[in-house]
Amino acid sequence: MKVNRRGSTAARVVRIADGALIAAISTASFAATTGADPAHIYAPGIPTLAQLYEASEYPPPANGPKLPPNKSVIFLSCGQLAVGCAGPAVAMEKIAKRISWKYKIIDGAFGVNDGYNSGMRQAIALKPDAIVVHGIACTQITQPLKEAKAAGIPVVNLQGADCDDPKTQGGPSESLFVNVQFNKDFKTAADFFYQAGFTQASYVIDATQGHARVVRDKYTGSLQGFYQAAGQDAAFAKCSDCKVVGTVEWGPTDGGAGGVLNQKFRTLLIRFPDANAAVFSYDSVATTFGLAKAIADAGRQRSMIVVAGEGYAPAQQMIREGAVTADVGQSSEWMAWAAIDTMNRFFNKSPIVPEGIGYRVIDANHNLSREGQDYSPPNPPIDLQGTYLRSWGVK
């Protein structure tokens, strides 16, 4: 594997968006990069690097019903301390101001101390026109969802499995969400996370030129982690000399720089000294939870491809600094626009449609956002604000 050394000779400290501090890496441990041929197919059925650098996104719907005025929306966040949870909530706040809707964020705090159920009931008590939940499965808030339905409050779902998901523990039941449709090729949250995992694994296969030995995390707090790992497994199964050698499972209370996940991952690195790639489900796993730093501390950064999962500014900064090789970008801003578009269609009794949201692989030489900015699709060709406002009749 070809290694490219980047950065200054001095160790630095990078402050990331959610307030955590990450010790940047000295020249002794710059991230491994790949000498792979971008056009070469390293496994049948796996997109090339060149294809991965292109997007599965396409422009959002150009036509839609007129936006009703003076609506009120409550956003229940999966946990504002994680950049991946905070991103869509903060983005929607800006959009709500632009369209003159009332808006409030309630922090579900990763469900700790029953934060999801209590957050839902706080939201219901405020009697909004709609509630948005992000990254929270229907099964985690089933009873308050039924209470919201009885109160006539629609609950719009971003990136959470609905109760009718076939993998629901105990079997599927009725749908209780108004679900955002992400993309014509992967509409549901299950499909979306499966595609995320498949894309991550595809990059690893190409970057290791078809010879991957992978360590990874797997989130067990909801079905998101199941589907993301399933997508990774489906991709690795297409590669004859690729293997997941170790997986650390974790739940909502296991994060943090000194948490159980971090400790278990450091042990995993010791157990598998020949691992040449790491796949992290979310950006916060690499950044706030410190797993990218764990690789550096183990002296493994030159020899491992490190792939994160969302495209937020902190992870992109780690690409610049050499702590992460690549990220699978998805736009939190687009998620927010799409949720409001879904609400608007629901309010107008119009069909829910795919919103065009997809993925675009980011590495040091492809698709990096400006410093300090989260991933968002290039404009042109995709003008999120202009397209959505025009479709809603907002000037």
CATH label of the domain that carries residue 278: 3.40.50.2300
Residue in the structure block whose two tokens are 């339905």: 149
Return per-residue pLDDT of the chain as tens, 395 residues.
333 323 332 222 222 233 333 333 322 233 456 689 999 999 999 999 999 999 999 999 999 999 999 999 999 999 999 999 999 999 999 999 999 999 999 999 999 999 999 999 999 999 999 999 999 999 999 999 999 999 999 999 999 999 999 999 999 999 999 999 999 999 999 999 999 999 999 999 999 999 999 999 999 999 999 999 999 999 999 999 999 999 999 998 899 888 999 999 999 999 999 999 999 999 999 999 999 999 999 999 999 999 999 999 999 999 999 999 999 999 999 999 999 999 999 999 999 999 999 999 999 999 999 999 999 999 999 999 999 999 999 99
Closest by alpha carbon to 42, among 242, 245, 180, 340?
Answer: 242
Q: Are 147 and 238 within one domain?
A: no
Give the list of residues 6+ apart from residue 51 with CB closer than 8 angstroms, or none: none
Separation between Cα atoms, residue 367 and residue 351, nearest integer Å: 33
Distance CA 211, CA 276 (A): 9
Residue 8 is assigned to a structural domain of this protein: no
Determine the 3-state secondary structure of 354 from DSSP.
strand
Inter-axis angle of helices 142-150 and 115-125, to 10 degrees? 10
Residues 195 and 318 in one domain: yes
| Number of domains observed in the structure of the chain | 2
- Domain presence at residue 336: yes
Residue 153 and residue 286: Cα distance in Å, rounded?
A: 37
Please tell me whether residues 244 and 116 are part of one structural domain: no
Q: Which residues contact 80 (CB under 8 A, 6 or more apart)?
A: 86, 89, 105, 107, 109
Give a three-class secondary structure readout of 66-130.
Answer: CCCCCCEEEEEECCCCCHHHHHHHHHHHHHHHHHCCEEEEEECHHHHHHHHHHHHHHHHHCCCCE
Q: Domain of 299?
A: 13-56+190-329
Q: Are residues 269 and 211 in the same domain?
A: yes
Q: Are 311 and 17 in contact (CB under 8 A)?
A: no
Are 317 and 198 in a shared domain?
Answer: yes
Q: In this structure, is residue 381 part of a structural domain?
A: no
Lookup result for tokens 């996940």: 261
Domain boundary among 329, 344, 378: 329
145 and 18 in a single domain? The answer is no
Mark whether 258 and 167 lie in a shared domain. no
- Tokens for 151? 């109160």
The predicted pLDDT at position 256 comes to: 84
Contacts of 192 (CB under 8 A, 6+ apart): 159, 182, 183, 186, 357
Q: Does residue 43 share a domain with residue 19?
A: yes
183 and 125 part of one domain: yes
**What is the per-residue pLDDT for 258?**
87
Angle of CA points 274, 276, 277, to nearest 5°: 135
| DSSP H helices in the chain | 49-53, 83-99, 115-125, 142-150, 189-207, 223-236, 260-271, 283-286, 291-297, 313-321, 332-347, 384-392
Domain shared by 287 and 213, yes or no: yes
pLDDT in the model for residue 191: 97
Angle between helices 332-347 and 384-392 (to 10 degrees): 10
Do residue 171 and residue 184 come from a single domain? yes
Task: Please state, in angstroms and rounded to a whole number, the distance separating the CA atoms of residues 333 and 386.
Answer: 13
Cβ-contact 76, 116 below 8 angstroms: yes
Backbone angles phi, psi at 166, to 5 degrees: -65, -20
Q: Are residues 95 and 201 in the same domain?
A: no
Q: 114: which residues sit within 8 A by CB, 6+ positions away? A: none
- In 3-state terms, what secondary structure has residue 28? helix
User: Token digits for 13?
Assistant: 């400290």
Q: Is 100 exposed, middle or buried (0-12, 13-18, 19+ CB in 10 A)?
A: exposed
150's tokens: 């009885």
CB 73 within 8 A of CB 128: yes
